[in-house]
Structure 1
Amino acid sequence: MASIQKRPDGRWRARYRDEADREHARHFTRKVDAQRWLDTVTASIVRGDYVDPKAGRETVRAYSSRWQSVQVSSSGTARIVDNALRRHIMPALGGRAIGAVRRSDVQAFIKLLETKGLSAGTVRNIYEVAARVFDAAVDDRVISASPCRRITFPKSDGDEVVPPTVEEVAALRSALDPQWQAVVVTLAGSGLRVGELLGLSVSDVDFLRGTIRVERQRLQSGELAAVKSRTSRRIVPVGQVVIEALAAYLAAYPSDDALFRDEWGVPLSYRRWKRLLGDAACEAGVRVTSHGLRHFAASALISGGASVKQVQTFLGHSSAVITLRTYAHLFPGDEDRTRNVLDAALGPLADFLRTTPASEG
């Protein structure tokens, strides 16, 4: 129900009741302006995109806390979201009324992240969390539109993945104590993410078929969790080098549960492995990380003629787009393949040119 009344002071009072039967009113000097405001509000109610003007007064911190508490996601994703909110979004925007945040404020936030020295990829990941919060606020009709629109991001440094050489992998392996050498061989020969490898149990290795079943990952907290996506759950074929390395490792360090354990029989943790690998890389004089060993496995497949789809499945990427974005420069013969495809397409035209006399000038 809406109405317009003239007040004793000559101004016009426009008022309406929203879907929750709360009354809202504004005062105008001209009746036409009051009517225009009511028409706009009425149209938004009819369209279903009406937003209570008072809802936007809630702070970004308060709304984000409510939003975060009802999210359903893996523990890994929840950790990423919490880190982005707690360390970056809340300090910069948490005290602002959510309805008062403008596109320019979000752009300034992105600039702030860049000045902190964060990588382009990290900046975009933090932004994605902020965008999810504001999109949810739109869906909840707390704000009418998200300020996360037409944002300019820092340019990526554009560095292409440079996989370690087999000599670097060998040097890294030799710098480790014998107990840990099989970890390097397995990472380099399977392309597993380090969390996936640390989450393996002995029963996940099929020594006869030469495969490793990936179903779990070990989080940085030490807890076991499901892998991060459906495509990450996979059976990975591995060569005889990996199988023999694992067989020798288990013969020396038997286990009936976690595949890799430390000196005290506790499953090898992310933090311990990171320290072991860092010390070995320093001693060997190489710059190789666990993810670098994953790149090594991918590059070996590509150099052997594997297709994009095969590499995607092997690595557990959610889409071939991710595989291409990371490794497109490693696929050989792109220029020759382009020439061959164009020649095949233009074949009929080439025949026509060869059999058609040149016109006289």
Structure 2
Amino acid sequence: MSVRKREWTTPKGVERFAWVVDYVDTTGKRRMRTFRLKKEADQFAATATVEVREGVHVADTASVTVETAGKLWLKSAERRVEHGTLVQYRQHMNLHIVPAIGQVLLSRLTVPAVREFEETMREAGKSPAMVRKVLVSLGSILADAQERGLVVRNAIREKSRTRQKGRDMRLEKRHRGKLKVGVDIPTREEVKALVAVLEGRWRPLLLTAIFAGLRASELRGLRWSDVDFARQLIHVRQRADFTNEIGRPKSEAGERSVPVPPMVINTLKEWKLACPKGDADLVLPNGSGNVESHTNIVRRGLQPAMIAAGVTIATDELDDQGKPVLAAKYTGLHSLRHFYASWLINRREDGGLGLPPKSVQERLGHATISLTLDTYSHLFPSMDDASELALAEAALLS
């Protein structure tokens, strides 16, 4: 391994120089790499010496681009992940990774290069959550390339993840803010008004969403064989992803049994007589008995029901009489899941079930208790309000 200065004169008579690292790689092949600064050449020589000695060095000419490595990673992912996840991986590749760093050699993808890529995404207006997901995919690409011997180091893993992850989570929380009743979570009065107007094929679906807290994908994949009328339970054992493909729940904790109130059981019993039949035995299918479109549920079911119940907000658009056009206040099914969580958490005297955090986690199918608490901890009773303090004082001094 040698570092030497190379000097030459251009055809125009301008003197130039560069620093060349001359070495033999792990296969016995002579390699040379040129640097503008001696400091950079020395740094590479020191790193390459260790890598060659350990038998893990990959020269630039033996490396591949990020795009090529990404294609190999996607090909291997086809055999081990569900279709919906694969679609998301491809979106990360095609929309974010390839346009920015697709032609960069893996051997040149350093920690500073990754940080620059990350900052570019943030400056382009990508949310902290999206930035984090894309970096996770990039880290998986590099890990796959390491196993194939295409790169030595994983720049994503080499970043100071303790500090960075903490900062990412703070940015994401600041971006989202805390869930607010009446803003993100329907109030009790709004849910009562909504339940009163539900009818037809949307009544069983939205009642199940409100009082069982199932995810949209779980509602769309629910089978009659998973509804236990005798014990008043709904067993979550499968889901339909956004491509309508049936698969397992998103995590092991997603497989669960959820108790439901009599209103839901009675409604489902009535609906079973009129439910369109299909090979998938779905509880909440479309008119052909197949998986219902998420868009249809929201646009034809949830939002019209919200408007009929008076759970609305005024838009900037005006009607023929010059009055603001009203739109649904809550535009996504997840708002009903948030209400279900708040119903589980609220004290019985406030109309809730008063369940402890662990029970709430299990009912929601969250993979960890930290996810439940990060999302809903501010909804749990603080136990230090005036009435609670008065009772504690009386008990202590009696």
Q: Does 1:290 align with 2:301?
A: no
1:13 and 1:205, CA in 2 relative to 1: closer, same or farther beyond 3 A? closer
Q: Which amino acid in the other structure matches residue 300 of structure 1?
A: W
**1:237-248, aligned counterparts within 5 Å?**
237-248=259-270
2:231 matched to 1:231? Answer: no
1:21-36 alignment, distance < 5 Å = 22-24=29-31
Which stretch of structure 1 is more off in the superposition, 109-118 or 211-220? 109-118
The corresponding residue for 1:209 is: 231
Partner of 2:317: none
Partner of residue 326, structure 1: 375
- The amino acid across from 2:66 in the alignment is V
Q: Deviations over 1:94-128 (max 9, x none)?
A: 12222223434333333333344433222222222
Q: Does 1 or 2 have the higher relative contact order (CA < 8 Å, sep 6+)?
A: 1
Q: For residues 105 and 329 of structure 1, what CA distance do their matches in structure 2 show?
A: 39
Q: Any idea what the Cα deviations from partners look like across 1:67-105, whole Å, max 9, x if unmatched?
A: 121122233322221221122111221122222234343
Task: Identify which of 172, 179, 186 aligns with 1:161.
Answer: 179
Confirm or deny that 1:313 pairs with 2:358. no
- Among 84, 87, 101, the alignment partner of 2:92 is 84
Match of 2:325 in 1: none
Shift of 1:205: 0.3
CA contact 2:25–2:57 (8 Å) conserved in 1 = no
Shift of 1:175: 5.4
Does residue 63 (structure 1) correspond to residue 69 (structure 2)? The answer is: yes
* Residue type at the aligned position of 1:147: A
Shift of 1:294: 0.9
Aligned residues: 330
| Letter paired with 2:61 | K
Measured against aligned partners, the alpha-carbon deviations of 1:164-219 in whole angstroms (never above 9, x if no partner) come to 11322344445555221111110111111110111011111000001111111112
Give deviations 1:151-172, integer Å, cap 9, x for gaps. 5644532411232113223444
Q: Residue 120 of structure 1 corresponds to which residue in structure 2?
A: 128
1:227 partner SS? coil
Structure 1 regions of 5+ residues with no counterpart?
Answer: 5-10, 29-33, 348-361
**For 1:3 and 1:95, how far apart are their aligned partners in 2?**
29
Q: How does 1:1-361 map to 2 (within 5 A)?
A: 15-18=23-26, 20=27, 22-24=29-31, 41=48, 43-47=50-54, 49-56=56-63, 58-71=64-77, 72-148=80-156, 149-150=159-160, 151=164, 153=168, 154-155=171-172, 156-162=174-180, 163-173=185-195, 177-253=199-275, 255=277, 257-276=281-300, 277-282=302-307, 284=310, 285=312, 286-288=328-330, 289-303=332-346, 304-333=353-382, 335=384
Q: Give the AA of the match of 1:157.
A: H
Contact kept? 2:239, 2:247, Cα under 8 Å: yes
Structure 2: how far apart are the matches of 1:313 and 1:259? 23
- Checking the alignment, whether the CA contact within 8 Å between 1:50 and 1:144 is kept in structure 2 is yes
Structure 2 residue identity aligned to 1:287:
K
Q: 1:125 to 1:27 in 2, by over 3 A?
A: closer
Deviation at 1:52, TM superposition (A): 3.4
Distance change (3 Å), C-alpha of 1:324 and 1:251? same
1:117 & 1:76 partners in 2: Cα distance? 25
Question: Partners of 2:100 and 2:43 in 1: how far apart?
Answer: 37
Q: Quote the Cα distance in structure 2 between the aligned partners of 1:51 and 1:199.
A: 47
SS at match of 1:235: strand
Partner of 1:7: none
Q: Percent identity?
A: 29
Deviates more, 1:213-222 or 1:250-259: 250-259
More off after superposition, 209-218 vs 222-231: 222-231
Q: Given that residues 194 and 306 in structure 2 are in contact (C-alpha distance below 8 angstroms), is that contact kept between their aligned partners in structure 1?
A: yes
Residue segments in structure 2 that go unaligned for 5+ positions in a row = 4-18, 36-40, 313-327, 347-352
Confirm or deny: 8 A CA contact 1:219 1:270 kept in the other structure: no
SS of residue in 1 equivalent to 2:24: strand
Looking at structure 2, the residues matched to 47 and 218 of structure 1 have their Cα atoms a distance apart, in angstroms, of 48
Give the partner amino acid of 2:298.
K
Aligned to 2:252, the other structure's residue is in SS state coil
- CA-CA distance at 1:53 after TM superposition: 4.0
Q: Is the 8 A contact 1:202 1:259 kept in 2?
A: yes
- The TM-score normalised by the length of structure 1 is 0.78
User: 2:116 corresponds to which letter in structure 1?
Assistant: A
Question: Deviation at 1:254?
Answer: 5.9
What is the one-letter code of the residue matched to 1:61? Answer: E
Structure 1 residues 319, 48: closer, same or farther in 2, change over 3 A? farther
